[in-house]
Amino acid sequence: MVNISEINYLGWPKSVKLSNNVLELVITTAVGPRIIHFSHLEGENLFMVDPQTAGIQGGDTFRLYGGHRLWRAPEDREQTYFPDNKPITFSPTVNGGRFVAPIEPTTHLQKEIEIALEDENSVVITHRITNYAPYPQELAAWALSVMRPDGVAVLPLPDLLSHDEHLLPTQTFILWGYTNLADPRWRFHTGCLYLWQDEKATSPQKIGFSNGRGWIAYCHSFGTFVKQYLIEDKIYPDLGAVTEVFTDHRMLELETLSPLVSLESGDTVQHLERWLLLEPIADELLDTPQEVIRWIESQL
C-alpha cells in the first residue's frame, strides 16, 4: 500500500511524501520537479540537499537544490540550465504520482517525473520531456541523482573475455576536460571502477560509459542506492554515454541518459530508471569489489 501525504519539507510547502512499509520519497511541488528525499522509512536522506537553497522558491537563476532532477542533454548553458523554480502540478496515481512542470518559455519543453512504488524496496521513475516548440529538437532525457557526501560510486564493467576469442572492444570511457584519472578518488578494480566522494576535494571529476551491466550504485553508511536502466542499441549523447558520474566537494551525481532523439513538435521522449535501496555495505566488503558486484547483482 502506498501512503500519500502533504508536508512542509525544509521550507518548501506542499511537498508530497510517498511511502510504503520500507521506503519514503519526498517530492517538491513549490519548485521542480525534484525528488528531494529518498530513504528507508523514517531514515536518513541518501540525497544531498543544498543548505544554501533549501526552501527557496521563485527567481530566474538556476539553483542546484539537490535531490533528483530531470535535464535535457547534451549539456548547454542556455537549454539545459533553465531554472526549475516555479510550482508544478501533482496528480496522484494508484501507486505513486505524476509531477509535471510548466512549459519552459525559452526551450518550449515540458518535463515530467512519474513515480511508482513497485515492491518493498524498489521504485520506478519515469522521466518524460515533451516538445511544444513548432519545430523538432534533438535531445536526450538526462536523469541526475545528487547523492550526499562521504560515499562511493560503484561503476560495474563488462565481464573479462578471452583475447583469443574476442578481438573487438566492449567498453568506452568518455572523459571531460577536467577528468584526471590520477586523482586518488578513482580506484580501478577487476570488474568495476570506484569513484569516492571527498568533501576536501579541490576539483571536480567526471566520467561516462558507453556500456555497462545496466546498473550503477552509490554506497553510503545510510544505505546502498542502486539505479537500473536500459541499454539500447542507439546513439547516445556525450560521445555515446549511457551512464555518467560526477563529483565535487559537495556531492556525487549518478546520471543516466536516454538515446538521442529528434523530437518532433508534440512528441515525448521517455526514460525509465528502477531504484533499489539496499542495506549499507560493510567497509570490509568494499575492499573486495568483485564481492560487492556479486552481492548487488544478487539483489536485482
**Whole-number pLDDT of residue 35:** 99
**Number of domains, the chain:** 1
Residue keyed to cell 538556476: 62
Residues 222 and 39 sit within 8 Å (Cβ to Cβ): yes
Residue 211's domain comprises: 3-299
Flag residues of the chain having pLDDT under 70. Answer: none
**Whole-number pLDDT of residue 118:** 86
**Whole-number pLDDT of residue 289:** 95
Which residues lie closer than 8 Å to 218 by C-beta, 6 or more apart? 46, 145, 147, 151, 152, 153, 154, 224, 225, 252, 254
**Whole-number pLDDT of residue 119:** 79
Query: Any idea what the CATH number is for the domain that residue 59 is in?
Result: 2.70.98.10
**Whole-number pLDDT of residue 151:** 98
Query: pTM of the prediction?
Result: 0.97
**Whole-number pLDDT of residue 212:** 77
Residue keyed to cell 530531470: 70
